[in-house]
Amino acid sequence: MVLLEEIREISIVSASKIVMLVIDGLGGLPDAKTGRTELETAHTPYLDQLAKKGICGLIDPVSPGITPGSGPGHLALFGYDPLKFTIGRGVLEALGIGFELTKNDVAARGNFCTVDGNGLITDRRAGRITTEKCVELCKLLSQIKLEGVELFVWPVKEHRFMMTLRGKGLSAEISDTDPQRLGVAPNSAIAEGSQAKQTVRAVNNFINEASKILASHHPANMILLRGFSKLPDIPSMSEIYKLTPAAIAVYPMYKGLAKLIGMKIFNADGGIQEELKVLAGCFEKHDFFYVHVKYADSAGEDGDFSRKVKVIEEVDSALPQLLNLKPDVIVVTGDHSTPAVLKGHSWHPVPVLLYSQWCRSDNAKEFSESACITGGLGRLHATDIMPLAMANALKLTKFGA
Amino acid sequence: MVLLEEIREISIVSASKIVMLVIDGLGGLPDAKTGRTELETAHTPYLDQLAKKGICGLIDPVSPGITPGSGPGHLALFGYDPLKFTIGRGVLEALGIGFELTKNDVAARGNFCTVDGNGLITDRRAGRITTEKCVELCKLLSQIKLEGVELFVWPVKEHRFMMTLRGKGLSAEISDTDPQRLGVAPNSAIAEGSQAKQTVRAVNNFINEASKILASHHPANMILLRGFSKLPDIPSMSEIYKLTPAAIAVYPMYKGLAKLIGMKIFNADGGIQEELKVLAGCFEKHDFFYVHVKYADSAGEDGDFSRKVKVIEEVDSALPQLLNLKPDVIVVTGDHSTPAVLKGHSWHPVPVLLYSQWCRSDNAKEFSESACITGGLGRLHATDIMPLAMANALKLTKFGA
């Protein structure tokens, strides 16, 4: 694993183009009956052909045994060590709903919750109120006035919302108010750094006003806040790689993450076909393209093995559209595994395939977990993928003389 | 990747002997017609037999995707993390011409260049003057007297030279005078650290005197200096591994690098046959032998696929000479890949084979990039090779109780 600072020194601008196709939650586990994973079950002639011409391997997004969230999984693919560049929960929540954070913002993840007559928590999720109710309550809380800071309260889903304070000199060094257990009162926010006093005052004023407004809205009669955070200090892909990167994605969180590291965002609605149309439209003007396919992960999370197989097959059948653009380097991989049998993200390493004229092909004859085990890339840290893609695009000069 | 300090604690002296045969630029890429790399094309019965008896793998000298210079590539093979132990350009230039640096020296890489009547650079390489002219000008510049420091100006090749200042308390924290572009005047040297004032004065005096001397030598009427550096602070192989290491090499830079980490240098002229004779001559007195074969890299750099094949075949046919000495451990590898089709160093991992009585052999039946993919060593960081060689020589005790 090389440091970004070394890459910054040796990266150069060139005309070659890199496409990184991220099939969210790509890696899987075998179906009990067939013994084959989702990727191994899917009929994928184009991916298999690309694997045959290219070089394959397995990547660990964070570290062997560690199940990554989508944030760390993606950061690693873009070459940012997810153990070094951490994104706060509040910021992730904001990115996830498309809220445009500025450097003056402190964001927190919020829960509506239920407290009893003594103010003790009886339900940390307020009986999972509907999203409609959440929207209504957020509108009410948005009207709270705080001295010297601007307030944003945006609904997320069910009992979840995002709160952001905007103002000069705000600090995110604030303790959670969510005690993460029942039968106790919510904590007051406490300054964890000397710079956070003003922010803590604003947060506690907000909670105080919110509790008055919500008193009549049982079961959502109180709020809990956690994960106070600011935009991370993270160098852009153009600084490090000298790329002009473009992101093609549907979901806000992935667009937000991509924006965080300086990608230009291209919206796409619908599936891979639509995304590849957008790719073709912006192909001339950029040299790195992140294409995000969400639905494999969603199917895995739902435990729907055959739907995940279908999503992978859709990607495969759309692949010619991508190949027609003749990118110099193609990477196909995932940000983590989401085996349908586990109904969630998992720690299993993710299949990766890299194709370029200079990739030094291996014996992998298909794109599958088992073929990738013996692939020429071996087992890599996910942060090695960007340097490899850059090298194959002949965009890196020698390190040392 | 283990730290040198841990190795230092567990290494022991024993009678066993290790030979590390470094075929410079060994790794390659397939020829378009045959689909086989240089190593796969070469007829190498002895290497194949050794691979069959030994254990194989692929190594990344710096990190996946990173193309190493010869300095980092070699340091890694000797167990020194090239991201931690960096060698300045001036020092490398000095090593490359066999100049014996001391701890009191600051070395820089120099270019003769052309400036116009206003002192603005019009050619950073002075029209690539001949090496003869370079020798003549270096002789003139060597006569410059600087107060309190000794001056060395040695020719390298064409417009390139090495300048070294020798004296107590000199510092290398000096900015380059080479602005790396045309139409501007050369920069003055500037102290980048508080200790560098005396050195900067000497450097700028040197430049000033040099410009007077060179005024009548258009197009080489000025100089540019960069990469000011001192010998790196690097522990010797005898300190870390308790070895008495010997280096057998032809080119100055490799001898210089080997000397830097405390190897005894044995000169050899000519090819591998000659080198192995020298090896036999010093085999009794040492326990680690670095044998460097330069010409595979030279052929690769020239884009001469079949000449690289031939060099590898020469190494193979000489191998019995080496085997006859019955070293306990034999490592055959390269410091980086130099595919003839790329005409230069590349990022591709380098085949490695290790043979010892205790190596736990694998299924690799030949020494080739594709066989090494599935070798028992897997894909390793190059700095892991020395600990493995030491272990196979039974020169490492247990780590921890």
Residue in A360, A378, A386 nearest the CB of B379: A378
The pLDDT, as a whole number, for residue B22 is 98
Choose the weakest-confidence range: A88-102, A218-232, B235-249.
Answer: A88-102
B85-135: pLDDT as tens digits? 999 889 988 988 989 999 999 999 999 999 999 999 999 999 999 999 999
Residues within 8 A of B (CB atoms), A 177-216 only: none
Q: What six digits make up the tokens of B100?
A: 């014996």
pLDDT beyond 80 at A1: no
pLDDT beyond 80 at B1: no
On chain A, the residues whose CB falls within 8 A of the CB of B348 are 360
Chain B residue with CA closest to A388: the answer is: B65
- Please state the rounded mean pLDDT for residues B56-77: 96
Neighbours of B102 (CB within 10 A): 9
ipTM of the complex: 0.88
Chain A residue with CA closest to B377: the answer is: A378
- Please state the rounded mean pLDDT for residues B339-368: 97
- Please state the rounded mean pLDDT for residues A64-72: 95
Q: What is the DSSP string of A8-77?
A: HHHB---S--EEEEEETTBB----TTT---HHHHS--HHHHHHHHHSEEEEEESSSTTPPPPHHHHHHHH
Residues within 8 A of A (CB atoms), B 72-91 only: 72, 82-83, 86-87, 89
Residue in B66, B83, B373 nearest the CB of A387: B66
Nearest-neighbour CA in chain B from A397: distance (Å): 7
A84-98: pLDDT as tens digits? 999 999 998 999 898
pLDDT beyond 70 at A397: yes
pLDDT beyond 80 at B271: yes
> What is the distance between the alpha carbons of residues B398 and B393, in angstroms, rounded to a whole number?
14
- Please state the rounded mean pLDDT for residues B186-215: 95
Mutation site for B-interface testing, chosen from A360, A363, A365, A397 by largest number of B Cβ within 10 Å: A360
Residue that is written with structure tokens 């692939």 in the block:
A375
Nearest-neighbour CA in chain A from B13: distance (Å): 33
Q: Is the dihedral of CA A299, A305, A309, A310 positive or negative?
A: negative
Residue in B82, B369, B373 nearest the CB of A400: B82
Residue in B69, B370, B378 nearest the CB of A398: B69
Cβ of residue A363 closer than 8 Å to a chain B Cβ: yes
On chain B, the residues whose CB falls within 8 A of the CB of A399 are 62, 66-69, 72, 82
Choose the weakest-confidence range: A259-273, A290-304, A338-352.
Answer: A259-273
B30/A360 Cβ within 8 A: yes
Q: Is residue B279 within a helix (H) or strand (E), and if so which, with residue range?
A: helix B272-282
In whole numbers, what is the pLDDT of chain A averaged over residues?
Answer: 96
A153-186: pLDDT as tens digits? 999 989 999 999 999 999 999 999 999 999 999 9
Residues contacting B106, CB < 8 A, separation 6+: B90, B164, B165, B170, B171, B172, B174, B199, B228, B229, B230
Percentage of chain A surpassing pLDDT 70? Answer: 100
pLDDT beyond 90 at A293: yes
> What is the distance between the alpha carbons of residues A74 and A53, in angstroms, rounded to a whole number?
25
pLDDT beyond 70 at A75: yes
The pLDDT, as a whole number, for residue B92 is 87
In whole numbers, what is the pLDDT of chain B averaged over residues?
Answer: 96
A3/B67 Cβ within 8 A: no
Mutation site for A-interface testing, chosen from B341, B347, B350 by largest number of A Cβ within 10 Å: B347
The long-range contacts involving B358-363, CB below 8 angstroms and separated by at least 24 positions, are: B358/B392, B358/B394, B359/B54, B359/B55, B359/B392, B360/B55, B361/B52, B361/B53, B361/B54, B361/B55, B362/B55, B362/B56
B9-41: pLDDT as tens digits? 999 999 999 999 999 999 999 999 999 999 999
Percentage of chain A surpassing pLDDT 90? Answer: 93
What confidence tier does B2 reach under pLDDT thresholds 50, 70, 90? low
pLDDT beyond 80 at B79: yes
Chain A residue with CA closest to B69: the answer is: A401
Could you say which DSSP state residue A263 is in? P
Comparison of pLDDT for B268 and A113, the residue scoring more? A113
- Backbone φ, ψ for residue B316 (5° rounding): -60, -45
What confidence tier does A270 reach under pLDDT thresholds 50, 70, 90? confident
CB A102 within 8 A of CB A256: no
Nearest-neighbour CA in chain A from B148: distance (Å): 31
What confidence tier does B201 reach under pLDDT thresholds 50, 70, 90? very high
- Please state the rounded mean pLDDT for residues B378-387: 97
On chain A, the residues whose CB falls within 8 A of the CB of B83 are 2-3, 6
Percentage of chain B surpassing pLDDT 90? Answer: 92
A339-369: pLDDT as tens digits? 999 999 999 999 999 999 999 999 999 999 9
Angle between helices B272-282 and B305-324 (to 10 degrees): 20
Cβ of residue A55 closer than 8 Å to a chain B Cβ: no
A33-42: pLDDT as tens digits? 999 999 999 9
